[in-house]
Amino acid sequence: MNYVTKIKCHLSSILVILAVFLTASCASQQPAQERTRSGSMDNPQYHVQRGDEALLSKGYEAARSAYQKALDLDPDFSQALSGLAAASAYEVSKPESPLKNKQGVLKDAENKIKKALKTAKNDKDKARAHSFAIQVYLALQLPEGKWYEEVTDHFEDAIDLTPDDPEPFFYMGIAESRQLNYPQANKMFHRVLSLDGKYRQEANLELERIQKVQLAAPGSKFGAEIANVEKITRADVAALFIAELRLDRLYKQSQQPADSSYQTPKSQQKMNLDPLQKYPEAVDIAGHPLEDSIKEVIKLGVKGLSPDPAHKFHPGKEISRAEFAQLNQDLLIKITKDSTLATKYVDVSSPFPDVNANVWYYNAVRIVVERGLMQVKNKVTNSFQPMESVSGAEALITIRTIKEILNSYLK
What tens digit of pLDDT does each residue of 290-319 get?
999 999 999 999 999 999 999 999 999 999
pLDDT at 11 over 60: no
What tens digit of pLDDT does each residue of 228-276 get?
788 899 999 999 898 888 787 778 766 444 444 545 555 444 444 444 4
Q: Which domains does the chain have, with CATH numbers?
A: 44-216 (1.25.40.10), 233-390 (no CATH)
Range in 15-19, 46-50, 197-201, 350-354 the model is least confident about: 15-19
**Separation CA 48–CA 68 (nearest Å):** 9
Model confidence band, residue 349 (pLDDT cutoffs 50, 70, 90): very high
**Separation CA 250–CA 236 (nearest Å):** 19
The pLDDT score that the predictor gives to residue 26 is: 42
**Separation CA 172–CA 175 (nearest Å):** 5
pLDDT at 87 over 70: yes
| pTM of this structure | 0.68
Type of residue found at 299: K
Q: What are phi and psi of 318, to 5 degrees?
A: -70, 135
C-alpha atoms less than 13 angstroms from C-alpha of 223 in its C-beta half-sphere: 23
The pLDDT score that the predictor gives to residue 282 is: 92
What tens digit of pLDDT does each residue of 132-169 get?
999 999 999 999 999 999 999 999 999 999 999 999 99
**Other C-beta atoms within 10 Å of 64: how many?**
20
> SS3 letters for the chain?
CCHHHHHHHHHHHHHHHHHHHHHHHHHHHCCCCCCCCCCCCCCHHHHHHHHHHHHHCCCHHHHHHHHHHHHHHCCCCHHHHHHHHHHHHHHCCCCCCCHHHHHHHHHHHHHHHHHHHHHCCCHHHHHHHHHHHHHHHHHHCCCCCCHHHHHHHHHHHHHHHCCCCHHHHHHHHHHHHHCCCHHHHHHHHHHHHHHCCCCHHHHHHHHHHHHHHHHHCCCCHHHHHHCCCCCCEHHHHHHHHHHHHCHHHHHHHCCCCCCCCCCCCHHHCCCCCCCCCCCCCCCCCCCCCCHHHHHHHHHHCCCCCCCCCCCCCCCCCECEHHHHHHHHHHHHHHHHCCHHHHHCCCCCCCCCCCCCCCCCCHHHHHHHHHCCCCCCCECCCCECCCCCECCHHHHHHHHHHHHHHHHHHHC
The pLDDT score that the predictor gives to residue 406 is: 86
Q: Which of 253, 254, 248, 335 is nearest to 297 (CA)?
A: 248
**Separation CA 173–CA 183 (nearest Å):** 10
What tens digit of pLDDT does each residue of 381-409 get?
999 999 999 998 899 889 989 988 888 87
The pLDDT score that the predictor gives to residue 217 is: 64
Share of the chain above pLDDT 90, in %: 65
CA 97 to chain centre: 12
The pLDDT score that the predictor gives to residue 221 is: 66
